[in-house]
Amino acid sequence: MNNRVHQIKSWSKFFRPIVAGERSHELRRNDRDYQVGDILILREYDPEAGDYTGSACEAVVTSMTSQERPCAVSDEGLNAGFCILSIRVTAMTEDLGGRGVRRPASV
């Protein structure tokens, strides 16, 4: 299966800890059939301003928990239609500016 790229909105209170390395997961509605290996382009969104900030990062899905892929503790711990994506940031940019996400040389 080919890995897909998903451009998704990420509120500032979640986005900033992700790029700072303090958060490594996303709780999402699984309306895109996310899979391990998929690429997320997280675009920072400021809900108070009602607009995107211009900051973005790219992350790869490294693990996934859902009702179809339960954790070891319980298959009832997550509502149907939602998933927890473990992610690893692979690239960051302050302003996409139509140029796409800059990748660090090590990726």
Q: Note whether residue 99 is domain-resident.
A: no
Of residues 68, 103, 93, 89, the one with CA closest to residue 24:
89
Structural domain count, the chain: 1
Distance CA 58, CA 92 (A): 6
Question: 19 has which bridge partners?
Answer: none
Q: Note whether residue 56 is domain-resident.
A: yes
> Which tokens in the block code for residue 50?
């009602």
CATH classification at residue 75: 2.30.130.30
Q: Note whether residue 103 is domain-resident.
A: no
Q: Note whether residue 10 is domain-resident.
A: yes
Q: Note whether residue 104 is domain-resident.
A: no
pLDDT at 101 over 50: no
pLDDT at 103 over 80: no
Q: Bigger pLDDT: 102 or 49? A: 49
Q: Note whether residue 22 is domain-resident.
A: yes
Q: Note whether residue 32 is domain-resident.
A: yes
Of residues 34, 41, 4, the one with CA closest to residue 19:
41
- Structural domain boundaries, residue 68: 5-93
Q: Note whether residue 34 is domain-resident.
A: yes
pLDDT at 47 over 90: yes
Parallel, antiparallel, or unpaired: how do β-strands 39-46 and 51-66 relate? Answer: antiparallel
DSSP reduced 3-state for 14:
helix
